[in-house]
Every structure is written in C-alpha cells, then in structure tokens.
Structure 1
C-alpha cells in the first residue's frame, strides 16, 4: 500500500510514527538526548507492506533544486505520486504482481481518488509496469471542500452549542455556514457565537485537551543540559505537556532535525533546512475543486473503497462524509450496524453496491488510527482481506 499524509504538505513521518506505521516515539519527557523510537503494537504493516511518501515537494525531507521544481499544486501532486509509484515498481520488480492499495487521510481525500483514476487510465493505455490497483481507503477525508458546513450540525449533536443558537443559525444562515460573501448580518453574528462556543476545543478530537505548542522556529540543543530554550521562561512559548497527545510531535521534530538521524536516513547534506512536520507556509495551488466525480468513476471500474471517520472530529465531521456518500445514490447491500473489535463496539458501518464501505471509528479523531490504533488495525485487516467489518 502507498500512503499519503494530508495537509497538503504534512510529512509521511506523521503516518509512520503517529498513525499506522511500525514505530512510535517513547513518550518520555525530553531531557536533551535523542528521543527514542519503539515498536508500535498495532501497526498496519502487520498485514500489508506500506510505502510512506513525502509529497508534495518540500514536504518532510523532499526538496527541489529549481524554482519550477518547487511548484506545488493538487494536479502536480497527483502526477508526481503516480510517476513515483511506477518508477518504484521498476526498481522493485518483485512487487509488480502484488495487489496494490493506496490510502491517506485528511486533505489526501482530494488528490488520492484522482491518483487512483490516473493509475487506471495509464494501465488501460498499456503503460508499464502495470499497477495492480485493487482499492483505496480514506480517513476523515476532505472530498467536496464543503465538509465544514457540517461542523455546526455536528457541534449541536455533540452538545457544544445550544438548541437556541442552532435554530437561529439554521434560520439566519439557511444551511450555508461556509460562504462568507453571502452571509447576512444576523448569520455573521450567529457564526461568531458558534466560534466562541467551540473556542478552546481541540477540533481534531473534541474530547482531547487543547495543548499549547512550542513555536517551530525555536531551536533546542540536543546535548544541552537545559531542558527548554534559553528564552523559554521569558517568552510566551510553551512546550506541550508530556501527557498531551501532541507531545510526540515535539519529539519528532527534535529527532528529524538531528544530524546523525539525517545521516542514517541518507538525507543529502545541505539539501534542505529545518524539517517541519507540516509545511503549511509554502504556497500550494488547490486546482482540483473536489474529488466527488472521481469516486463515481472508480466505482464504475469496480474499485473497492473504505471510507472511515473518527466520530469526534470537528475538522471533517462524519456527517459531511456521510452526506457525499449518500448523494452517490448507490443501493445499500449491508445496512447500518455495529462493528466490533476485541468484543466491543468499535463503530458503525454500512456497505454499498459500488463496493464502498463506510465506517465510523468510535472515539476516533481526525486521524483515527492515532486515537484508536487497535480498532483501526482490526478494521483495516478485515477490509484488505475482503472480510466484512
């Protein structure tokens, strides 16, 4: 399987050490030494080989040597991913007959179905090597770019806003909560009240604490006996608490910027500066408006899909995912029911006649495997083995 992390511009290390890969950082307070990696018990690599790819360019450890090569867009990302995979199979011919899957989460929901379609079209034209694409999977994935429109119904259902505010939003905004240009004065007022109501929440998982973060520009000396930057006590910066889920993100930054680590990973010296988990500051042209039609095309080709949603994500709420899947208007072959992991309800699922399975992950956030690793491994293992959830 080939895995793309979202963003756009978030490093594949996120998928490898925080979500589905075989390693994770040992959660211990930083003491100036190199953070330790340990084996992850619920890695998806137990059932599939996985290639974690840093794309688009200037994501993670990738770089370009020319200005033209540094250009980033959805369509460039699609083409580069496709070309990378075919070239990788040329270099590793023993994998050419393997069943191939592609997966990702968050913003990957935009380019990934397009990548799948480009692979199929190239196969049909006889481009070699043949990519034996069997299916794709997406978690809490952006699809229509209108997913935020479901944040307000989600917030109301989760008890984050009052009945009165929700009713007022419905009346004054007429169901359109994301188009700022057409908002009335009353709608804008209600939106501000909504934003106040959810301020302070961790929108990636509404039950998790919202932890303070250390600014990326601050440098920490690995071998220093000083645990924090010299200006830590006199600045407004804060390290995340070691009890926070985001603390390993901080450890990852220390690890990935260590010279010995880069040497071990064969990162070309001088090819790039500071590693960042996500490069949101680099321009990226969003030239693929949505990926809805590509799901339709892939369904017609008989490509299987698993679309899953952590049910406590406010960024891409499961309600929005359900809405676009429902609008495909495919008949249901396995209706809404519970699915189990370790003899406990792990979520709810429904399967459609186009071989698309939708599943919620109970207690999951924006990156569901990060929050529910055991359940998500069970879900993936069954799906890739063509076993019902």
Structure 2
C-alpha cells in the first residue's frame, strides 16, 4: 500500500487536473505534519509524466521579457477562422469567432487570453462565460472536448459540435488565472493566490470585454464552469454584483451562475466521500467505519482554515485528503472522474490532440499567440492557490439568491472526486430564506426529448440537478442533456413536472 504522503500528492495532483482530469501523475515524497507550499515540489518521475502533456513546457508558467503588446486595461482582439474548420459559404464576420488578449490593470504585466464565440442562432442570446478549474487549467480543454462550438478529430481537423453552448449563448472561454493556457506575464509577482485577486481580474476583463463589444451589454449574462471553478464562480458573481451596486463601470446584466461538479464547500463535501464510496461499492462497510474516524480531524482543520487562514489551510488540505487517499487505496485503478471506467495508462483521459492542434503554426497564427507555449495546467498557478483550496465559497451565495440571482448546481452521478452527493448536501444545508422550501421540495425527472436524463430539485432561484451517466465533465459525457440544461435554465424553465412539462420557477 502506498504511503500516506504519496497518496496525498496523488490526490493533490488529481484535483489539479480536476480537474483536468489526468490520473497517476504521481511522485512520492514525505510531508511534515504541517506542510507548506515549498513542500509541494515535483519529483523527476512526476515531471517527466507531466511533460508528456506539455504541463511543464519550458517552465511551469509562461513569462516573457520586454513585452509591449498592450496598454494596461486594453483589449487586443482579432476575428479568426481556424484553418482546419471547413464552413462553406460562411465568412469570418458571419461566424463571429474572436480571440484576444487583455492587459490586466491590477498587475505589473499580466495578459489574459480568451476566446469569444457569438451565438450560432441569435445575437441577443445571453452572454455566458466559462471557467475551467484546476486551479490553473486552460479553458481550451472545455472548448475542444466539452461545450465549445466544435470538436477535434483524430486527424486534428475540427467538426461542428451539435451541442455546443454557442447554440444557446454568446460564449467566452477564458484562460485564467494568469499563467494558464495562453495567458502569461513578464513578472511572476502577478500570480494570484486567492479569490479576491482572481475575481478582480475577471471583473476587469468583463468591463473591457463589454466596452469592446457594446452590442452585448444589454444581453443577459451568466457565469458557468466546473471543478475548482466551484470557487471561482461564486467569487466572480459576488464581485460583479458588488460592481453593479456600486455603479463602478459598465453595468453587467448578471442573471445567475451555474457550477458543475464543483468544489464549493469543502467541509461538507469531504464528509460525503465515504458515503458516496460505500453506496457505489468502492469500499466495504468495515472500510467505511475505519475511514470515518478521519472525519472529525478534517472538520476541525477546515474550521481552523476558515478562522485563521494561512498555513492552517495547507494543513487542512493535507489532513482531509487522507480521506480520499484511503478510499482510492482500496478502490485501486478506478477512474475517480468517472467510476464506470478504469484508469488506463499514465493518463486517464487523452487530450493529446488538443496539444498537437494548438502547436500547429497555422493555428498559432490564427490566434495571434506567436511562439508562446501553451500550458494545459500550470503547477505554478496550482501551488499559488493552495491556501485558497479549503475556503468555503458557499458563504457568499445566499446574498445573491436573496437578490434574485438564479443558481444552478449540477453534477454527473459517476464522478467521485466532486461527487453529486457532497454537492447536494451543501446546497441543502445552505441557509437562505427559501431553504426550508427547497429541502421540502420534491425531486422530479429531468427530461430531454421525453427521456429521463437526471433528477431535479428546485425552489425559487435555486436548482440542483443530478445528471445520469455522466462523470466529472457533464458536457463531454452528456452533451445533449447539458445543452438542454443550459437552455432551459437560462429561460427560467428548468423546473419540470412529473409529466415532463416545463414550468417557470416560482
């Protein structure tokens, strides 16, 4: 059996890929009782495996010297057509595809890279921003494998995604925090360490984006994402709402946010691991009883993180991940992003086509990124955010609900690492004026074209959806259901009766 420290790093790295979903990138080393960020160094074995996915290109983060690309606060954007996407009779203007850089004003030299795809149907569709987790993983993983306008084939060509979220929205994919994907800096002091820094950068970007695209300022706006974005999304929603109330700049027409298989309230979610694992047959009752002895220490450590912060938050991550590690030592080679599957090879998912595609000169020319390395997941960003990990981001959501924001929490039922049970529990435990009614509300089928695709519980502006036959990445595993979910939710029609009729939430 692996040592507890080895299993801790295995868990930490797996959450990093959260998140982006790469398994068995696992060095081993020893931890002190209270680990610090400096203890999270990578062994040569781990680095070799990570280099296979270009996760350490030349460096674990992009930094450039003498870069004069942008004036702080300005966007440089270009319309683009991917060279391998054949669209007979369509012009760049008709497609409405854009890529750009934004110089972050609250930084010394940070540039945020993004894609923007206008709706395939109506320009007055809502504007949606998608945030991938990690922390430190690129939005391009979602763009090409989940809910973007197109998908990659084995021969590195692009085909239209019939269930891309651009069929219901004008969608933005952002590489953030700084150092992720094609985002970069010439000063490593620009790396963010908490949700305040992350949400301020995203808010500044949105201000510049709507200034660049004034035709979309009146559209409804929604924040979406998955995994560690369970932290990013509530923080950004609160920041946008605060900015609107203070009349800081352009009013952003925020209507709600959706969190998919996220990490939002660690105290409740870590406590749910053993229940989920026992229910799904990953552990036996004796294992359950034994592992549950770790729960009180985890709860105490997270409480300390919430009150004291700093190194106590690193300690709580180490203490609580023992729960997950013990489950995985028993479950073996199960893919903890989708327990229906085994983890095959060094990586549980193969995203190598994306790496190859983004390294093509024609693609780089189209994007305007030059020779900049693409960083799928940045270890530097990940390490910098570790004291943020065990923070409870649920605490800001009730105020948003009270002000009428729509909140959707959804989860694929086959994911262990951010499982539906833990997400359901924190949603039900959340204290707001409609809590009793939400808890008492019945669960109804979520129907897609007459077929049951999940179960839904809702009251007022709050909804929780468990999606059948989906793992950590719901839009990849159940693309049709994910698009139906997004469309109905934004239209206020996600609630369904047992007869399959859409009704607006009351």
Query: TM-score under structure 1 normalisation?
Result: 0.82
Superposition pairs for residues 171-320 of structure 1, below 5 Å? 172-173=293-294, 194-213=327-346, 246-247=349-350, 249-267=351-369, 269-270=370-371, 272-273=372-373, 275-282=374-381, 283-286=383-386, 288=388, 289-320=391-422
Measured at CA, do residues 176 and 363 of structure 1 come closer, stay the same or move farther in structure 2, by a change above 3 Å?
farther
Long gaps (5+) in structure 2: 1-127, 302-314, 497-506
What are the superposed Cα offsets for residues 206-258 of structure 1, whole Å, 9 maximum, x if unpaired? 01231224xxxxxxxxxxxxxxxxxxxxxxxxxx7xxx8x23x1110111122
The Cα RMSD (Å) is: 2.5
Bigger RCO (CA 8 Å, 6+ sep) = 1
Gaps of 5+ in 1: 29-33, 214-239
Deviation of 1:331 (Å)? 2.8
Show the counterpart of 1:90.
Answer: 211
Aligned to 1:46: 167
Give the Cα separation in 1 of the matches to 2:341 and 2:482: 18
Do residues 57 (structure 1) and 186 (structure 2) align?
A: no
Give the whole-Å Cα distance in 1 for the aligned partners of 2:323 and 2:198.
Answer: 38
Residues 136 and 379 of structure 2 are in contact (CA less than 8 Å); yes or no, is this contact kept in structure 1?
A: yes
Assess, with a 3 A threshold, how the Cα gap between structure 1 residues 191 and 145 changes in structure 2: closer, same or farther: closer
Q: Does 1:2 align with 2:104?
A: no
TM-score when normalising by structure 2: 0.64
Indicate which of 12, 36, 39 corresponds to 2:157: 36
* Paired residue total: 343
Map Cα deviations across residues 287-341 of structure 1 (whole Å, 9 max, x no partner): 5522111111211211011110111111111111111111124133642122111
Task: Give 1:55 shift.
Answer: 0.6
> What displacement does 1:70 show?
3.7
Of 216, 220, 223 in structure 2, the residue corresponding to residue 102 of structure 1 is 223
Corresponding residue number in structure 2 for 1:385: 491
Counterpart among 437, 454, 458 of residue 332 in structure 1: 437
Aligned to 2:271: 149
Question: What displacement does 1:189 show?
Answer: 10
Instruction: Write the distance in 1 (CA, Å) between the matches of 2:492 and 2:376.
Output: 34
Structure 1: distance between partners of 2:387 and 2:492: 34
Cα deviations by residue, 1:18-71 (Å, 9 ceiling, x for unpaired): 111111111x3xxxxx61111111111111110111110111111112232344
The secondary structure found in structure 1 opposite 2:336 is coil
Shift in alpha-carbon separation, 1:83–1:196, aligned structure 2, 3 A:
same
